[in-house]
Chain A
Amino acid sequence: MTWEPVIGIETHVQLKTESKMFCGCAVAFGEEPNTNVCPVCLGLPGALPVTNGRAIEWITAIGLALDCRISSTSVFHRKNYFYADLPKNYQISQYDIPVCHDGHLDVDVDGETIRVRIERAHMEEDTGKSQHVGDGGRIHQAQATLLDFNRSGVPLVEIVSRPDIHSAAQARAYAQELRAVVAELGVSDARMEEGSIRFDANVSIRPAGTSELGTKVEIKNMNSFRSLERAIDYEIGRQIAALERGKRLVQETRHWDEEAGITHTMRVKEGSSDYRYFTEPDLPPLALDAEWVEKVAATIPELPAARRSRYAEAGLDPQIAAVLSAAEPELRQLYEEAVASGADPAAAANWVTGEVTAGLRRLERSPEEAFLTGQVIAELVGMVAAGELSSSAAKEVLSGVMEGEGRPAEVAEKRDLLQISDSAELEGMVAAVLDENADAVERYRSGEAKVIGFLVGQVMKASGGKADPKLVNELLRRNLES
């Protein structure tokens, strides 16, 4: 039997607002435990939450970027469950009226585009962190649990996809695209390894061609895109193997073990858990009118998908377009300015994503610190196109520019890197080489075409490496075939 995986992804995005969701404490990471806390985020008796307006603005931006509809009135709910790092033993979250609902994200994977529908994006608060100490840190043998509430109350946006994903590769592509959107909006650090963006996958399988959903398993603890893909692949395989051995799957949450490369049971859901949601009486409903939503919409920058297709239309190779689109904003700006200064887009993109990126990384400098502007790139690209620089000479020119030696033309001049692309000057060298290598000429004429490479090499040698090899090749052929 062929099996079809059915996957939905739940994404938690930590917003990098200045203050927490419901109090004035700073949102900061890596600080001493329990230093960014107050009566509200510690759940002290009598403390009350007040909604962070910026967070609402940002979740709205996320929703708009995902083509969601924005609820004109949105309501907070209490989600009740007991856990030591949940200070109030309820989480302020949203239930039936999330801020954003019914959107989608188009994802390119293996040359095709799939549309993943977004069921909802809602606002909630993060929990604190538990650290179990003693006996290897596993919860069951731990001697003590240490709690850090610095993260408690950090704004979280939960984005729930529909089960429109059918392979681990698609899941990875969806996650990467979603991360790119969130990063573009500038509302989160969106770093998987730091947990500022977290993806949980709901995985089930069903016989291909059927429409009923199989038993759903939630997998957690993937902290890179690679582990997300591996975990899903593993889980699909595990489920297929189980069903094919005639076993029944149970609805459960499984933990991805990165080292072992397997998932294992975390908790089995007995019936559906009952969080006893009810409207948060401490917070009035959010009123998000159309005019306000318009204002938020106006702040949304060009999103990665739109940028990639704009790049592709400009003639960039899709791979390069994707790399450039995901590059640092200052690199993209360098590209945009180079094109505006007349550079060929494809060539400018190649330079920016290739040599420029590598050079900056090596020097640990910003484009500005490395004397790079759009005009500089355009000039360099222009010189290559005009045959004034060989590609290897151009690389040397670039590194000269980045060392502060001047503009490309000046550097090429100073370092004597300009190509000889004057036919008259080259004709003499070509004639001399043909004279000195009569046997090679003979072999070429008797059909050994590859000998031309040797001859080109001789001319290049005679020119001290400065001849334009393309032109040399052309001149040789003309002479040999006349």
Chain B
Amino acid sequence: MSLADLTIAEAARRLEEGEIASTELTEAVLERATMTEARLHCYLTIDREGALESAAASDERRSKGQAMGPLDGIPVALKDNMCTRGIETTAASQLLSGYVPPYDAHVVERLRAAGAVIVGKTNLDEFAMGSSTENSAYGPTRNPWDTDRVPGGSSGGSAATVAAGSALGSFGSDTGGSIRQPAALCGVVGVKPTYGRVSRYGLIAFASSLDQIGPMARTVDDARLLLEGVWGHDPRDATSYSGEYPSLAPALDQGVEGMKIGVVRELSGDGYEKAVDAAVEAAIERLARAGAEVVEVSIPTVEVALSAYYLIAPAEASANLARFDGVRYGNRVDGETTEDMMARTRAAGFGPEPKRRILLGTYALSAGYYDAFYGKAQQVRTQLIHEFRAAYEKADVLVSPTSPTVAFELGARVDDPLAMYLSDVCTLPCNLTGDPAMSVPIGVDDAGLPIGMQVMAPALGEERMFAVAAELERLAGFEARPPLGDA
């Protein structure tokens, strides 16, 4: 087994014991990337030199007894919509090719301060808009389990790299399911924390009221280590949560005895693959046998959450993406006048999906349409929050499939935006409510493709969410690894 296949917890232990060096570990990961990248294309940028320097620095610290914690020397990857000082950051857009930010995002600062080794920047759907990573201006990422299939999205690169071993863990951003859905499709753990618990400072915004950064890893414990490494109050993000941040470790051994697990009735059945529903049902039964009380809950507004989401997210995106005008940065296309330059820059720089969403959002906010669209969507959002709150009166956590389907084939939904949007039907409600949710692999279908289960909790309920996720992981015994093949 290559060191690249270690969990973070195990790698941290071996580093701590002096059994391995970060340089070795990082080299193994880079070697794995060399082997898999041509096939998978997880990365947009690999910072080989920077990674090896960080690893050497980590080893140096450790030799002096100054290691900084469990992430010191651990190779991780970052979705390419998080700003990294000195490392190109493109959000998978042509418009930002060559853009090198002058500052680090909050998560990057935290990771560097924790001694983590940043391997590179992973592929995504342009500006995180999509569910398959096919909307990248630099070509798609492929699913390590079946390279004819998508890894999900938009954090597809971050999911695939963890599955393939070209990083031990990674960070993605989740606006409507962009961490959880690719995690499910790639057979890894993906966490969207409570809105506000990880600073968005330095994350290229898609929809500010929905965006949240979170970890992707091979185990629940690894996801916990990564999350604890970056969460916390940040005064530079006015929506950052300033209260307590508990240690999540104790929750992992807590079990589900006596817990109430709510099954969301609306998130199964029509439109859900049989194998997915069946795997989720089996996992729920295992939880019941482990002592949890299973109850059914109904959240009727979930049925229209998708419509609300596709008004609110594009509306915010239409403003967030306005800054990409070629005036101060990005690839400018000259024009007759300043306005003409801006228009040409945007026409050439944005791919079809960002354009579609900018148009949708602009329309939804326009005078005369605002009340019917954006205004109505906000009402749905409020209603959804009420219904989730009521559901949490009946259950400690809620569960559902993470995605209605397993990984689909490349190209299958590219020409059908609505079908693509439906990929997020289970995940986007928690972005609208701001509540935490995560995906845990619970098995594979007949073709051997991974299936993920979503665990949702009320705001700030990460402890109980991790408790259930850890139990699900133990009970599922999911240890399958994707076939790596030859390059």
Contact = CB atoms under 8 A, between A and B. Distances in A.
Contacts of B201: 46-48
B319 A45 contact: no
Nearest to A81: B322
A281 B316 contact: yes
A87 interface: yes
Given A89-B325, A274-B366, A276-B362, A48 B342 contact: no
Interface string B300-329: 000000000000000110110011110111
A272 B319 CA distance: 20
Contact of A87 (B96, B238, B328): B328
Contact of A282 (B99, B238, B315): B238
Interface in B334-355: 338-339, 342
B209 A281 contact: yes
Contact of A276 (B89, B102, B365): B365
Nearest to B127: A45
A39 B342 CA distance: 20
A82 B91 CA distance: 22
A46 B90 CA distance: 12
Given A47-B201, A82-B339, A274-B366, A282 B208 contact: yes
A84 B208 contact: no
B101 A284 contact: no
A50 B238 contact: yes
Contact of B323 (A89, A274, A284): A89
Interface string B177-193: 00000000000000000
B235 interface: yes
Contacts of A278: 315-316, 319, 365, 370, 374
Instruction: Give the interface SS of chain A, mostly helix, strand, loop or mixed.
Output: loop
A395 B63 CA distance: 84
A283 interface: yes
Contacts, number: 106
Given A43-B328, A274-B366, A82 B342 contact: yes
B367 interface: yes
B102 A284 contact: no
Contact of A284 (B96, B99, B238, B328): B238
Given A87-B323, A284-B239, A44 B208 contact: no
B83 interface: yes
Nearest to B196: A284
Contacts of B237: 48, 50, 282
B101 A90 contact: no
B325 A45 contact: no
B382 to A, nearest CB: 13
Contact of A42 (B325, B328, B365): B328
Query: Which of A45, A49, A272, A278 has most B Cβ within 10 Å?
Result: A45
Interface in A16-61: 39, 42-51
Nearest to A272: B367
Given A80-B322, A278-B315, A282-B239, A45 B102 contact: no
B365 A82 contact: no
A128 B139 CA distance: 37
B192 to A, nearest CB: 17
A46 B203 contact: yes
A308 interface: no
B224 interface: no
Interface string A91-103: 0000000000000
Contacts of B218: none
Contacts of B207: 281
Given A48-B200, A82-B339, A276-B362, A88 B83 contact: no
Contacts of A44: 83, 101-103, 328-329
Given A39-B102, A274-B367, A282-B239, A45 B96 contact: yes
A281 to B, nearest CB: 4
A45 B323 contact: yes
A147 interface: yes
A166 to B, nearest CB: 31
Contacts of A80: 318-319, 322, 365
7 contacts: A43-B323, A45-B204, A46-B203, A48-B200, A147-B328, A278-B365, A283-B239
Please provide the 7 A-B residue pairs with the shortest distance between their CB atoms, ordered closest to farther. Answer: A89-B322, A281-B209, A276-B365, A281-B208, A46-B202, A45-B204, A46-B83
